[in-house]
Structure 1
Amino acid sequence: MNCKRILLLYAAVLILAAAFHVPDTAEAKQQERSILIVYSTLDGKKSADVKMLDLIAGHFTSHVTVVNDADVKAADLAGKDRVIYYGQTKRKLNKKLAQLISSFQKPVTAIGFNAGQFSQFADLSLKSEDNVYQIRSTNEENDTSLESGIRVLKVSGLKGKALYTYKADDGKAHPFVWKTGKSNVYIGLTDLLNNNLLAAKQLRQAFGETPDSTLLYLRLEDISPMSDEKLLLQAGAYLHKRNIPFILSVIPVYVNPETGDKVYMSEKPKLVNVLRKLQDMGGSVIVHGYTHTYRYSETGEGFEFWDAKADQPITSQNAKEPATLLQKEQNFPNEEAYQNYLKPFRKNEETYTRQKLTNAIEDLTAEGLYPLAFEAPHYTMSEHGYQIASQYFTSLFGQVQLSDTTWKTSGAGPFVTNPAMLHGMTLYPETIGYVDQSEQNPLGKVEEHISQMIDFEGGVAGAFYHPYLGMKYLPELVDQMERIPNSEWLDIKKTKQTVKTDKVEIHTSGDGTIQVKSKVSAIETFFDHHQQSPLEKALWILSLIVLLFVVMFVSYTLYLRATLKKRIFKERKNRG
């Protein structure tokens, strides 16, 4: 076979490979899709409901843009594959916005109020807002009962197909979700925070996504230097025996709430050995803060990236300093003046957050523990904090804080997502809770949430378990999770992750192995990261001086012994 034939055969193989190659569907969708979320709120700010919508939409693409209705420009719609409008409050929209969305040639999803001002929903009439306890999908024969009820808008006037109805006091079925003939969808909900499963279902249907398998994960939570290594090993070994990859949520430093004294992971070699063993047995380490405390509350109980006492972002790099209470935006003449006021506080928050995340990653790495993701203590952190964290981690576990004014509003959508508010991080949501032994039925709430995830299909059933509970509830928790049909356990090592600082880089490429590049030693980490009091520093200096004298003494003693041996040898030789 000559060279020309070889080249022709090679070209034919390439052409056939290109013709028959089918790209990964989910990946292709994510590369193609781009979503614009336009919202109307009372104060023009992103409410918790808007952020929940961001969390849901981020499941379908990592390219989500969130814009207030007053700020939308024609350029915002360019290249977008879908517009989602959310009217949380009734408002007469400006003509420019109405024209831009009305002329948008791709699908539009509208939620809540004001949708009738767009041509896609021109005939929409909202009759009333009702609190309902039974709803029915038009694809199902039976009603779905809702314990707490939901607020829905009664819809009429639209052409197309009703997707969901509810039964009103008159006994008749009234639609509140419609799909028009051009694939535009209207969803008659105003509260997305408490109705995220229903909203997620409708958006998944609007995007034409078929439910995949449900992803399961279980975190062994709040592992600190004071954890009982025997109970931890018992829990991890049990999960390993059941072939369940698990997550080790680790806090590298314990803080004594009464004295402020710190206990470091490096001071607990038995615990470190257990963690290394569990890491080899299928456990994946994630950073759960550095101390999981702020202002000397107990590790595991306190906050770390949010000042809970003042209920505001961190304003000081030193937790011993009293909090500076931030002024409200209404005290300033305009937003620019308010943002300028916040700059020095945000600088402090950034310095504080960077130091904590860097120390946590490098301390664990120095002990042979390789964190693959981040979980914020008590799920609390400002959006600015998430932006900083995204420069260290590619993934976040748990729930997210949905307000920059209070920690008391948090949540998560039902599936893996890449929302705009996390600045590139992927969220693996905690959706089914934890075993609460203070309850009469410690697993009761978990079981309720599992039932919801069974009904949802194809989401994430994420939970956590405290190893100090021993084995009393763990087998039942696992059994309950595994009753979810068509489910599989998440192994973080088999996903693509990157965790990095200036001195450490940790990568997983999806094949189950971890690649680590580290320029930091355990000794260097100790002296770099462990904050010493003046007395501790003086003791270290004194110890080094004593050590120096001991080395000099030993060296001099050895020198004298060597000299004496030489002299004795010479004397014997001379006598010889």
Structure 2
Amino acid sequence: MNCKPIRLLYATVLILSAVFYVPGSAQAKRENHGILIIYTTIDGKKSSHVKMLDLLAGHFTSHVTVKKDADVTSSDLEGKERVIYFGQTKRKLSKELVSLISGFQKQVVAIGFNAGQISQFSGLSLTRKENVYQVRSSTEKNEASLETGLDVLDVSGLKGKALYTHKSNDGTSHPFIWKTEQSNVYIGLTNLQNNYLFVAKRVREAFGEPAGSTLLYLRLEDISPMSDEKLLLEAGTYLHKRHIPFILAVIPVYLNPKTGDKVYLADKPKLVKTLRKLQNMGGSVVVHGYTHAYRYSETGEGFEFWDAEADQPITSQNAEDSPSILQKEQDFPNETAYHNYLKPFRKNEETYTRKKLTHAIEDLTAEGLYPLAFEAPHYTMSEQGYQIASQYFSSIIGQVQLSDATWKTSGTGPFVTKPAMLHGMTLYPETLGYVDASDQNPLGSIEEHTSQMIDFEGGVAGAFYHPYLGMTYLPELVDQMERIPNSRWLDLKKTKQTVKTDKVEIHTNGNGTIQVNSKVNAVEKFFDHHQQSPLEKALWILSAVVLLFVVMFVSYTLYLRATLKKRIFKERKSRG
């Protein structure tokens, strides 16, 4: 699509206009006592299971600290309300660590191996590991069936009370979750990622938090400049009529991988008008990347903040550059040498990520669309990427990547959470999935996950829907979600959010209004978008020179006419 002549025609008109907005206010955040997570893994790195535990803990406090066993000091326990120890692998713990945890006077929750070395769980013996499909709570008479097997570690030797048991083939009952006389809790599980709902429920019980109501949310997904505004308006209008606040996941730029051409929202005034209308009808805009593409992939299909082809973080400042395949840590003599090697690549990733997020926020704001949160394309991003994103957004939507080694470990917990790995951002998790029209039963996965959330009670039931599907499945999807008892719909405008760049500040204070302070205008975005090559730059310079000569010619013509009139007037006056 080549619109350069038209763009040149409108350049002069655009120079005459700019858009400014109203100042916003600051956002306060919840503060409470912290949780210290101590982990033992084979390589000392935060595994996906450790990060899942971080996601769960972040629901109960906005101050989560995650430390490997060898790095814990006495200062890490100061001011903490709880300690969670997770032993993913068997290891003899240091005397210093055992002393620190044993001397902690508040609640300790231990998960997995090595807990018997800590005084709170003195005498603990793990007799065997079993895969079970039925478990029984001490508060219920009947066993509960599990859809997927649960790998449990059988417990013996503790004083207190068994909270959960299972039966072996001979009918013998074996405890695997135990509460001590001092109200410390041991959980005999090591796979926290696949069994996250079960683990989340047990941690919630250990902390004494009631289930509460379930929070529902629905995203209209992958809205780009090539989206059909009629189908989008139809879906949003339907949700509005059902009094459902919804989320608009918007990609500001469409990238054509075959030609390299870009189409901006500004090039689609009808779509922008529709999005503004939906924003006023209860829709909350979130940034879903800038192009939702990397290198030569198509918008909506490609990754953007992770190099999926090489399965590694972004290594260059320009997506078109050939990737530098990162070496592994084991290729270096020590950790320091490895981190020094990574420094230039991390700097490139930072520059790339900042540019993308800044452009996305400012492009949307220039069009009167005010993003309130961020959703990473395909939920993929390195932890450094999340740290950078936290400087622009206070919240993130969807799921998160649980490993810096591969993108194939994305996941989420069932709660609204503020984990350490997101560096201050609040996560609104997507737990139900999406309508897959290619499947024999397009809503089958959502039905299954909805049943799980009904059984879980409380938490978040989030889903997304592609507007290009039309109205075929949307009513049924909403009906499925609303069958969750004791539930309410999330309205991002009625939460406290902050989105900012150097030129934009967007705030919500929880009362449903959006406050915007913007120094971005249409002129800046126009020139920013449409100067993308040396040839185009030369054309713009030539256009400016031509425009200057036109202005000079018009000015000189007007001057001559004025001089001529003056002369004629003087001649007439002299003739009397």
The TM tier, using the shorter chain, reads: over 0.9
Q: Are the aligned partners of 2:32 and 2:62 in contact in 1 as well (CA < 8 Å)?
A: no
1:155-304 to structure 2, matched below 5 A, reads: 155-304=155-304
Q: Which amino acid aligns with 1:421?
A: M
CA offset digits 1:469-498 (Å, max 9, x no partner): 111111111110011101111111111111
2:227 aligned counterpart, secondary structure? coil
Which residue does the alignment assign to 2:538? Answer: 538
Which residue does the alignment assign to 2:458? Answer: 458
**Percent of matched pairs sharing the same residue:** 79
Q: Distance in 2 between matches of 1:530 and 1:201?
A: 52
Q: Distance in 2 between matches of 1:210 and 1:36?
A: 22
Q: Distance in 2 between matches of 1:78 and 1:531?
A: 54
1:300-315 to structure 2, matched below 5 A, reads: 300-315=300-315
1:177 aligned counterpart, secondary structure? strand
CA offset digits 1:134-157 (Å, max 9, x no partner): 122222333222222111111122
Q: Which amino acid aligns with 2:284?
A: S
Q: Distance in 2 between matches of 1:281 and 1:252?
A: 20
Q: Distance in 2 between matches of 1:215 and 1:307?
A: 33
CA offset digits 1:507-546 (Å, max 9, x no partner): 1111111111111111112323555112221222222233
Q: Are the aligned partners of 1:359 and 1:529 in contact in 2 as well (CA < 8 Å)?
A: no
Q: Distance in 2 between matches of 1:423 and 1:106?
A: 26
CA offset digits 1:183-234 (Å, max 9, x no partner): 1001011000011111111111111111111001111111111111111111
Q: Are the aligned partners of 2:39 and 2:85 in contact in 1 as well (CA < 8 Å)?
A: yes
Report deviation, 1:75.
Answer: 1.6
1:81 aligned counterpart, secondary structure? strand
Q: Which amino acid aligns with 1:265?
A: L
Q: Are the aligned partners of 2:499 and 2:507 in contact in 1 as well (CA < 8 Å)?
A: yes
Which residue does the alignment assign to 1:15? Answer: none
CA offset digits 1:148-175 (Å, max 9, x no partner): 2111111122222221122322233322
Report deviation, 1:270.
Answer: 0.7
Greater CA drift, 463-472 or 95-104: 95-104
2:42 aligned counterpart, secondary structure? coil
2:31 aligned counterpart, secondary structure? helix
1:54 aligned counterpart, secondary structure? helix
1:295 aligned counterpart, secondary structure? coil
Q: Which amino acid aligns with 1:340?
A: N
Report deviation, 1:31.
Answer: 3.4
1:396-475 to structure 2, matched below 5 A, reads: 396-475=396-475
Q: Are the aligned partners of 2:33 and 2:79 in contact in 1 as well (CA < 8 Å)?
A: no
1:263 aligned counterpart, secondary structure? strand
Which residue does the alignment assign to 1:328? Answer: 328
Q: How many residue pairs get matched? A: 549
2:91 aligned counterpart, secondary structure? coil
Q: Distance in 2 between matches of 1:173 and 1:476?
A: 43
Report deviation, 1:356.
Answer: 0.6
2:80 aligned counterpart, secondary structure? coil
Normalising by structure 1, we get a TM-score of: 0.92
Q: Which amino acid aligns with 2:305?
A: F
Q: Distance in 1 between matches of 2:214 and 2:274?
A: 30
Which residue does the alignment assign to 2:4? Answer: none
Q: Are the aligned partners of 2:443 and 2:477 in contact in 1 as well (CA < 8 Å)?
A: yes
Q: Which amino acid aligns with 1:310?
A: A
Q: Which amino acid aligns with 2:385?
A: G
1:464 aligned counterpart, secondary structure? strand
1:34-49 to structure 2, matched below 5 A, reads: 34-49=34-49
Q: Distance in 2 between matches of 1:313 and 1:573?
A: 82
Report deviation, 1:296.
Answer: 1.6
Moved over 6 A (4+): 567-576
Report deviation, 1:176.
Answer: 1.1
Q: Are the aligned partners of 1:111 and 1:190 in contact in 2 as well (CA < 8 Å)?
A: yes
Q: Which amino acid aligns with 2:232?
A: L
1:452-531 to structure 2, matched below 5 A, reads: 452-528=452-528
Q: Distance in 2 between matches of 1:564 and 1:138?
A: 104
1:312 aligned counterpart, secondary structure? coil
1:219 aligned counterpart, secondary structure? strand
Greater CA drift, 528-537 or 284-293: 528-537
Which residue does the alignment assign to 2:10? Answer: none
Q: Distance in 1 between matches of 2:520 and 2:98?
A: 57
Q: Distance in 2 between matches of 1:347 and 1:404?
A: 16
Report deviation, 1:556.
Answer: 4.3
Q: Distance in 2 between matches of 1:546 and 1:438?
A: 54
Q: Distance in 2 between matches of 1:446 and 1:508?
A: 31
2:356 aligned counterpart, secondary structure? helix
Q: CA RMSD in A?
A: 1.8
Contiguous gaps of at least 5 residues in structure 1: 1-26
Q: Distance in 2 between matches of 1:441 and 1:547?
A: 60
Q: Which amino acid aligns with 1:346?
A: R
Normalising by structure 2, we get a TM-score of: 0.92
Change (3 A) 1:242 1:570: farther
Q: Distance in 2 between matches of 1:381 and 1:519?
A: 29
Which residue does the alignment assign to 2:366? Answer: 366
CA offset digits 1:57-104 (Å, max 9, x no partner): 000001111111111112211221111000101111112111211121
Q: Distance in 2 between matches of 1:326 and 1:408?
A: 18
Q: Distance in 1 between matches of 2:564 and 2:244?
A: 66
Q: Are the aligned partners of 2:134 and 2:144 in contact in 1 as well (CA < 8 Å)?
A: yes
Q: Distance in 2 between matches of 1:38 and 1:66?
A: 6
Q: Are the aligned partners of 2:531 and 2:537 in contact in 1 as well (CA < 8 Å)?
A: no
Greater CA drift, 158-167 or 109-118: 158-167
Change (3 A) 1:572 1:476: farther
